[in-house]
Amino acid sequence: MGLKNTAIRLGLALCVFSGLAFAQGNDKHLSGKVTQVTCTQVAPDCGKNGQRDTGCDQPSELTLQSTGGELQVVEIVSTTRFVTNGASAAVADLKVGDQVEIDARLIDGELDAVEVRFAGTAGEAAQ
Residue 109 lies in domain: 27-126
Query: pLDDT tens digits, the chain, 127 residues: what are they?
Result: 566 655 455 544 444 444 444 345 789 999 999 999 887 654 444 444 444 444 555 668 999 999 899 999 999 998 999 999 889 998 888 899 999 999 999 998 899 999 999 986 554 444 3
Q: Note whether residue 89 is domain-resident.
A: yes
Q: Please give the C-alpha separations between residue 64 and each of 1, 9, 48, 111, in angstroms, as whole numbers.
A: 54, 42, 20, 12
- For the domain that residue 45 is a member of, what is the CATH number? 2.40.50.140
Q: Note whether residue 17 is domain-resident.
A: no
* Overall domain count for the chain: 1
3-state secondary structure of 80: coil
Q: Return d(Cα 103, Cα 27) in angstroms, integer.
A: 7
CB 108, CB 102: distance < 8 Å: no
Q: Note whether residue 4 is domain-resident.
A: no
Q: Note whether residue 104 is domain-resident.
A: yes
